[in-house]
Structure 1
Amino acid sequence: MNDLIDGLQLKIERLENEINFRNGLISMLSHDSKELFGNFLWLIEALEEKTITEEDFFKLLPQVKSDARKNLQTVQDSTAWLKTQYGEFKIKPVTIMVTDLFQYLKEKYAARLQEKNINFYFKGDHNAVLTNDRLLLEYVLDKILNNAVKFSSPGQDIYLQAVTEDDRMVISVTDSGTGMNEKYLSGIYTYDNPVFLGTSGEKGAGLSLKIVKNFISLMRGNITIISSENNGTTVSLFLPKL
């Protein structure tokens, strides 16, 4: 009887989490879209009515561009998540060399790494192999590295490390950037956590980590985040080899 009750409670908790995730996603998309298009419409109308000069109009365009980029990222993240929610989504396990993932990320982020003069290194088992969904794993590591670069200062290093532990693989991304206060960690996957600015003023919607956690669950793994203010962050993925 107790096992049945525990099982029902677990199902209820999962359902509540899914509902909260969907509601938060809809709320965030609605808010960001209204804000972006509202600001852009206000600018155009102000220029037409000559309540601002053309010079001031063009001065404000970089902020509009930044907001548009953030909004586009939110839409892309949402699309990636939605693809896993319709139909009978199943992960597609393939054999993955962790060093291949490292090279993929290093090439994708080459321009940003160079722009901030950040070195990206691989540590650990160079022969590390796991079997899992490559697309989901690439998405997860992409978002984690994106945050690491965003919150790192010029000249700092970032490491991707792979450690094999019995029947699981531990993949970690470590930076020595701004980090975050411990009081924010408990709410990092919720919709009421604050939006932090990167070291070059980069701004994120805070949606990526929520989808990251969802994708890791699909891969039957876990995630931990260890961070302290001004001392950097380590994000670790614990994934079954399958």
Structure 2
Amino acid sequence: MNDFINELQLKIKRLENEINFKNGLISILSHDSKELFGTFLLLVEELEQKNIDEEVFFNFLPQVKRDAQKNLQTIQDSISWLKTQYGEFKIKPVKIMVTDLFHYLEEKYAAKLKEKNIKFYFKGDQNAFLTSDRILLEYVLDKIFNNAVKYSFQDQDIYLQVITEGDQVVLSIIDSGTGMNEKYLSGIYTYGNPIFLGTSGEKGVGLSLKIVKNFISLLYGNIQIISAENKGTTVSLFLRKFIE
């Protein structure tokens, strides 16, 4: 009887989390879409009514572009997550060398790393590997690494560290950037935290880590975030070495 009650409570908890996640997702998409199109339409209307001249209009375009890029990323993130929520989604485990993940991030973020003169290093066993779903794992690391770059200052270092402990592989992305006040850590996966700008004014919607946590659960893993203000952040993924 106790086992039945415990299982029921777990199901209720999972259902509550899913409802909160979906409600939060809808709220973010709705708010950001209104913000983007509202700003753009307001500028066009002001130009049409000759309340502003063309020079002022074009001065606002870089901000409109940044907002559009932010919203496009939100939509792409949402689509990636939604694909895992409908139908019989099944992970497709393949053997992945951790160094391949390092080179994937290194290549994808080459321009941003160069812009901030950030050095990216691999730390750990060069032969370390795991079997996992490549698409989900690359997505997760991409979002974590994007935050590491965003909140790092010029000339700082970022590490991808791998530690193998029996049947478990721990992947950590370590930066020494702005970090986060401890009071925000408990709500990192909720929708109540404020949105922080990156060290070069990069903007985000705070959605990525919420999807990341969901994806990590699909990979039968866990995520841990250790952060201190002005000292940096370490995000660790605890993953099975083998998934059948």
Task: Report the 3-state secondary structure (helix = DSSP H, G, I; strand = E; otherwise coil) of the residue aligned with 1:21.
Answer: helix
Q: How far apart are residue 2 of structure 1 and its match?
A: 1.2
Which amino acid is the alignment partner of residue 58 of structure 1?
F
1:86-127 residue CA offsets vs partner (Å, 9 max, x unmatched): 110000000010001101110111111001100000001111
Larger mean Cα displacement after TM superposition, 53-62 or 94-103: 53-62
- In structure 2, what is the Cα distance between the partners aligned to 1:125 and 1:21? 36
RMSD of aligned alpha carbons: 0.6
Give, in whole Å, the separation in 2 of the partners of 1:103 and 1:37: 37
Match of 1:53 in 2: 53
How many Å apart are 1:59 and its aligned residue?
A: 1.4
Match of 1:183 in 2: 183
1:49 deviation in Å? 0.4
Residue-by-residue CA offset, 1:132-168 (whole Å, 9 max, x unaligned): 1010000000000000000000100000000000110
- What does 1:1-150 align with in structure 2 at a 5 Å threshold? 1-150=1-150
What CA distance in whole angstroms lies between the structure 2 residues aligned with 1:180 and 1:40? 32
The separation in 2 between residues aligned to 1:4 and 1:96, in whole angstroms, is 38
Distance 2:66 2:192 in 1: 22
Give distance in 1, aligned partners of 2:22 and 2:140. 19
Matched AA of 1:115: E
2:155 equivalent in structure 1:
155
Secondary structure of 2:18 counterpart: helix
Distance in 1 (CA, whole Å) between partners of 2:26 and 2:81 is 12
Instruction: Give 1:206's aligned amino acid.
Output: G
User: Is residue 220 from structure 1 mapped to residue 227 from structure 2 by the alignment?
Assistant: no
Equivalent residue of 1:45, what SS? helix
Partner Cα distance (2:2, 2:71) in 1? 46
**For 2:114 and 2:172, how far apart are their aligned partners in 1?**
22
List runs of 5+ in structure 2 lacking aligned partners: none
How far apart in 2 are the matches of 1:31 and 1:153?
29
Give the secondary-structure state (helix, strand or coil) at the position aligned to 1:233: strand
Q: Runs of 5+ in structure 1 lacking a partner?
A: none
The separation in 2 between residues aligned to 1:147 and 1:69, in whole angstroms, is: 16
How many Å apart are 1:61 and its aligned residue? Answer: 1.2
* Distance (whole Å) between structure 2 residues aligned to residue 6 and residue 206 of structure 1: 32
Distance apart, 1:230 and its partner CA: 0.3
Report how far residue 231 of structure 1 moved: 0.1
SS at match of 1:90: coil
Q: How many residues align?
A: 242
Corresponding residue SS for 1:173: strand
Task: Report the AA paired with residue 166 of structure 1.
Answer: G
TM-score (norm 1): 0.99
Give identity over the alignment, percent.
Answer: 78
User: In the alignment, what sits opposite 1:210?
Assistant: 210
Distance in 1, matches of 2:109 and 2:148, equals 11
Counterpart of 1:160 in 2: which secondary structure? strand
- Compute the displacement of 1:53 (Å): 1.8
Query: Could you tell me how far 1:62 is from its partner in structure 2?
Result: 1.2
SS across alignment from 1:101: helix
* SS of residue paired to 1:195: coil
Q: How many angstroms does 1:195 deviate by?
A: 0.3
In 2, Cα distance between the equivalents of 1:146 and 1:104? 13
